Structure 1
Amino acid sequence: MSVMTIYERAPIGAMIAFRNSVPRPSEEDADALAAWKKGNGSGWLVRCTPPRSSIIWSVAGAITLLPGAFQMDLDAAIAARQAFPLDSDLSFEVVRRPVAGEVRVLQEYGAHSILLYLAPSMVDARRWVEESGHINIRLEEVCVEEICADVIEGRAA
């Protein structure tokens, strides 16, 4: 599916795979393999940024993925994130959707929020927030109604 479909339909906290049409190079060609990995991989959907514009400037919208595991170190997490503009020509797929009972730990950034952690339970989410020391946090539990609405409205993959 396209990046726009992910932007419009995938829930924050979903695991998203992305790929280009280039075959994987051999392990011996380190430079080609590194370039290939930039266009092929997976990550947690942590942010959907809408397009913005003014009279003077314009910024395309994007989705942001976090590869690997969630971290308490925000600087390391920011460095690891990868943004894909809404006009990306890569192919995307929802690998895993958040399940009922999981809790999104979101940090507010002005009008937008970003997923810092997807906790298995509310107790774990509160513990993670306490240990991490992050501020401007909002906890959002994934509920059965959200999952049902995704299925009924055609957002479930």
Structure 2
Amino acid sequence: MSVMTIYERAPIGAMISFRNSVPRPSDEDADALAAWKKCNGAGWLVRCTPPRSSIIWSTAGAITLLPGEFQMDLDAAIAAREAFPLDSDLSFEIVRRPLAGEVRVLQEYGAHNILLYLAANMADARRWVEDSGHINIRLEEVCVEEICADAVEGRVA
């Protein structure tokens, strides 16, 4: 599916894979393999940035993925995030949606929210927030109604 479909249908906290049509190079060609990995991988959907424009500039909008696991070291997590513009020609797929009972730990970032952590339950989310020391956090539990609405409204891919 396209990046626009992910932007419109995937919930924050979903695991998203991305790929291009280039076959994986051999491990011996380190440069080619590094370039291939830049266009083929997976990550957690942590932010959807809408398109914006003014008289002087405009941005196309993007989705932002965090590869690997959520970390307590937010600086490392920020450095590892990768944004994909809404006009990206890569193919995307929803690998895993957040489950009912999981909790999104969100922080306001400008005009939108960014996912800092996807907790297994509310107790885990509260423990993570306490250990991390973050402020201005919002906890959002994934409810059964959200999952059902995704299915009914055609957002389940």
TM-score, reference length from structure 2: 0.99
Instruction: Provide Cα deviations, 1:81-121, integer angstroms capped at 9, x if missing partner.
Output: 00000000000000000010000000111321100000000
Helix, strand or coil at the partner of 2:70: coil
Kindly tell me the number of residue pairs found equivalent between the two proteins: 157
2:16 — aligned with what? Answer: 16
Match of 1:93 in 2: 93
In structure 2, the gaps of 5 or more residues are none
Aligned to 1:61: 61
- In structure 1, the partner of 2:130 is 130
Counterpart residue type for residue 102 of structure 2? E
Give the counterpart letter for 1:89 in structure 2: D
Aligned-residue CA RMSD in angstroms?
0.5
Q: Which amino acid in 2 is paired with 1:68?
A: G
Q: Where does structure 1 differ by over 4 angstroms across 4 or more consecutive aligned residues?
A: none
Amino acid aligned to 1:78: I
Report how far residue 53 of structure 1 moved.
0.4
CA distance in 2, matches of 1:110, 1:82: 18
Q: Report the secondary structure of 2:130's partner residue.
A: helix
Alignment of structure 1 residues 1-157 onto 2, 5 Å = 1-157=1-157
**Percent pairwise identity:** 89
The separation in 2 between residues aligned to 1:22 and 1:147, in whole angstroms, is 34
